[in-house]
Chains A and B, each alone.
Chain A
Amino acid sequence: QKEVEQDPGPLSVPEGAIVSLNCTYSNSAFQYFMWYRQYSRKGPELLMYTYSSGNKEDGRFTAQVDKSSKYISLFIRDSQPSDSATYLCAMGYAGGTSYGKLTFGQGTILTVHP
Chain B
Amino acid sequence: DADVTQTPRNRITKTGKRIMLECSQTKGHDRMYWYRQDPGLGLRLIYYSFDVKDINKGEISDGYSVSRQAQAKFSLSLESAIPNQTALYFCATSERTGGSGANVLTFGAGSRLTVL
Question: Which residues of A are in contact with B by a Cβ distance under 8 Å?
Answer: 4, 6, 8, 32, 34, 36, 41-46, 49, 51, 88, 90, 92, 94-96, 99-102, 104-107
Contacts and interface: CB of A to CB of B under 8 A. Distances in A.
Contacts of B12: none
Given A43-B4, A106-B40, A92 B103 contact: yes
Contacts of A92: 102-103
Interface in B74-93: 90, 92
A45 B110 CA distance: 12
A107 to B, nearest CB: 5
Contacts of A106: 40-42
15 contacts: A34-B104, A43-B4, A43-B90, A43-B110, A44-B105, A51-B102, A92-B103, A94-B101, A95-B99, A95-B100, A99-B103, A100-B48, A100-B94, A101-B48, A104-B42
Contact of A102 (B100, B101, B103, B108): B103
Contacts of A4: 42
Contact of B105 (A32, A95, A102): A102
Contacts of A32: 102
Nearest to A106: B42
B107 A45 contact: yes
A88 B102 contact: no
B109 interface: yes
Interface string B22-55: 0000000001000100001111110010100000
Given A42-B109, A44-B107, A46-B105, A88 B31 contact: no
Given A43-B90, A107-B42, A100 B103 contact: yes
Interface of B: 4, 31, 35, 40-45, 48, 50, 58, 90, 92, 94, 99-105, 107-110
B41 to A, nearest CB: 6
A88 B43 contact: yes
B43 A34 contact: no
A41 B100 contact: no
Contacts of A34: 102, 104
A41 B112 CA distance: 9
A41 B109 contact: yes
